[in-house]
Amino acid sequence: MEINDLNINQKFRAKMYRIHKNPRYKLIELDQKKYLIDLESNCFTYLFPPLNWILKKELIEISNDKLNEIEYDDNNNKEQAKNIGCVSGGGGVLIATLMRPFMDLMDVPSNQSINSLIVILTVLVIVFIRGSLRKRWDLKLKSNKTHIIKCIVRSKLKHMSFVIGAYLMFLLFSLLMIGLIFGVENNLMIYIGSPLIFFMFSLMNLITYDNEEVIISKLSQSELININRKSIQNILR
């Protein structure tokens, strides 16, 4: 296939790496160049993580000097990401089972006003914590960018299915917790468990990609022309 025959509907495979101690970003290798992708560039991904696959993302090329400051690899993160849902879900079931004999001892008096205040305070605390983490993880790439590619970046179908399943699970748990808070029974364990569930839900956008190949599409014509022949051989047919 000739370079001139490329079109914006073609798709490319690219290698993705994790950044040590910074889950907000992933490193992508495309056309023998390194780019960073911000998983939290859109605040709506906190509520609906699949937006990372739907909306165009910015791939920000980084210089060699900046690259030397970043520790990255493609090991362990795959299992780490896939264990988040399993460990959290399994841990929740285990804790609930162990604490069941003590549930009656944790009943506390409450009313709808107090419950509403608890929900509001919980959401505010989680927003503050996630905002602080977002700021802490910020690499300030906007001031150092040299070249930006806008494109669609998707994970493989298997990982997308896992993320959607985990997202639906935490969404169900979050709605269940809200229902229990406003329910007839008021138990201290509900007030302890609900912030943890809500916080885990807010982290779902950080596992939308794993450390395997990702699929890049919707590149502009100018970017397609810049892709070298070695990358062309990896075009999905």
Among 3-17, 23-37, 76-90, 162-176, the minimum mean pLDDT is found in 76-90
Top-confidence residue, 51 or 108: 51
Yes or no: say if 28 and 145 are a contact pair by the CB < 8 Å rule.
no
d(CA 165, CA 6): 35
Across the range 164-187, mean pLDDT stands at 80
Q: Where are the alpha helices (DSSP H) in 112-220?
A: 112-137, 157-181, 188-202
Lowest mean pLDDT among 2-11, 20-29, 33-42: 2-11
pTM above 0.85, yes or no: no
Q: State both tokens at 95.
A: 């804790």
Does residue 201 or residue 11 have the better pLDDT?
201
Q: In whole angstroms, what is the distance from residue 183 CA to residue 194 CA?
A: 14
Tell me the pLDDT of the chain averaged across its residues. Answer: 76
pLDDT at site 45 = 93
Residue 160's CB is within 10 A of a number of other CB atoms, namely 16
Is the pLDDT higher at 149 or at 143? 149
Residue 205 pLDDT class (50, 70, 90 cuts)? very high
List, in order, residues 6 or more apart from 105 with CB less than 8 Å away: none
pLDDT above 90 coverage of the chain, percent: 24
pLDDT at 232 over 70: no
pLDDT on residue 65? 79
pLDDT exceeds cutoff 60 at 18: yes
Q: Which residue has the tokens 């009943």?
A: 107
Confidence of residue 222 (pLDDT cuts 50, 70, 90): low
CA–CA dist 71, 219 (Å, integer): 28
Measured CA to CA, the distance from residue 195 to residue 198 in angstroms comes to: 5
Whether residue 31 is predicted with pLDDT greater than 50 in this model: the reply is yes
Distance CA 199, CA 183 (A): 21
pLDDT score recorded for residue 91: 54
Tell me: the pLDDT tens digits for 87-142?
A: 555 555 555 565 555 555 455 566 677 777 877 888 899 999 999 999 999 888 76
pLDDT higher than threshold 50 for residue 76: no
Domains of the chain, residue spans: 3-232
- What angle do helix axes 77-99 and 188-202 make, rounded to 10 degrees? 170
Average pLDDT over residues 148-156: 89
| Residue 109 contacts residue 186 (beta carbons within 8 Å) | yes
User: Would the pLDDT of 39 be above 90?
Assistant: yes
The pLDDT value recorded for residue 77 is 46
